[in-house]
A and B are shown apart, each in its own frame.
Chain A
């Protein structure tokens, strides 16, 4: 098991709590690393290895990414992750409040693996998080590495 399996990039602490709660309620005990903005997420992936070099040991099994983030926004994080050969195979699930078409188009163009609109209804939210976990942590086959 990797040290971090789920990377959750989300600035809103309430949404963090609800997402973690929904994952735990669905019996996913996988280690979760929460990054609170885009800069922190990029730092975590690309800048925390020994000698300041990227440490791909830190790469998660799946990244849950909010779009609207302080400093570096979600689209920029996505672009960086998907354009680097070392990180581009990390599945990125965009988890956002926005159901705007332009966000959908842009994120898919940047290489997002999935786009989920966070429902207001908590039961639906629970179901969505449960399905994300089921699919990306259990069903989906991932290249070893």
Chain B
């Protein structure tokens, strides 16, 4: 074997170094790729696990809601029914005060039934699949107002409907959302002379913001954080009845659509509820 010339030796050394470093680079890239693949697999595994966990959580929630629906109602019915039986069977044996106390027992049993129904309906909201399609808020609002006309009869209340552009939403849920907001405004304008409710929309940062505004009882913005909580109420039960489920329902519906809901208000000057829906109108 003849000796390599120095320049050739240098060149081959350089080539060797280049090849080696290329080899390292390739190996490193392979390692990276393997690493990436491993990370990818790991991510997939974790996603699968998360999906399974969510599925299990939903099934548990389902079972829980079912228990609430069935098993907790029976004892409540017994409390109410047997209190009533006592009043019926011993009308002269019970002193008026005893009858009054039993009446309170009954009223509370019935109220707990109403609360449980509200809670169930609320939990069903997150379990039922979202059926989004083109929806017409204007038609929904008009129908709701027609349906509620009898309940508002004799009240000094003017309701105006502004522009309500079409959107992509679950029409059934959008109906419940508007029902909750309109019920809320109708309720809290009960004591307001020349009451007004305005239902409309405006464009803000390219998004349609739908609103329901009234000049009713309003609330102190210091408590705004509690507004959408389940069973949270900002008014005393003797002033305004209610279960504290309506606005929680509204918020959950808006969130399920990927939107936002918020309110601005002033005590005794009214409240405005605004919401957006995730997808813009087609």
> A48 to chain B: which residues have CB within 8 Å?
none
Cβ A122 vs Cβ B73 within 8 A: no
Q: How large is the interface on B (under 10, 10 to 19, 20 to 34, 35 or more residues)?
A: 20 to 34
- CB-CB contacts of B107-140 with A at 8 A, as 1s and 0s? 0011011000100100000000000000000000
Q: Counting CB contacts under 8 A, is A127 at the interface?
A: no
Q: Which residues of A, 54-80, contact B by the 8 Å Cβ criterion?
A: 67-68
Question: A113: CB under 8 A from chain B?
Answer: no
Bound CA–CA A100/B65 (angstroms): 9
A98→B66 contact, CB < 8 A: yes
Contact with B along A100-141 (1 / 0, CB 8 A): 100000000000000000111111010000000000000000
Is A98 within 8 A of B78, CB to CB?
no
Proximity string of chain A (17-30) to chain B, C-beta cutoff 8 Å, 1 when within and 0 when not: 01001000000000
Q: A68-B70, A100-B69, A121-B110 are in contact. Are A15 and B84 (CB under 8 A)?
A: no
Instruction: Identify whether the interface residues of B are mostly helix, strand, loop, or mixed.
Output: helix
A98 to B63, CA, bound (A): 12
CB of A122 within 8 A of CB of B69, answer no
Residues on the A chain within 8 Å of B65, using CB? 100
- Pick from A97, A120, A121: contact of B70, CB under 8 Å: A97
Cα–Cα, bound, A18→B109 (Å): 16
Chain A residues lying within 8 Å of B43, measured Cβ to Cβ, are none
Cβ distance A103 to chain B, nearest Cβ, rounded Å = 9
Residue B85 lies at the interface, judged by CB distance under 8 Å to chain A: yes
Please name 28 pairs of A and B residues whose Cβ atoms are closer than 8 Å in the assembled complex, sorted by A. A12-B74, A14-B75, A14-B77, A14-B82, A15-B74, A15-B77, A18-B82, A18-B85, A68-B70, A68-B71, A97-B69, A98-B66, A98-B69, A98-B70, A99-B69, A118-B77, A119-B77, A120-B109, A120-B110, A121-B80, A121-B110, A121-B113, A122-B77, A122-B80, A122-B81, A122-B83, A125-B77, A125-B81
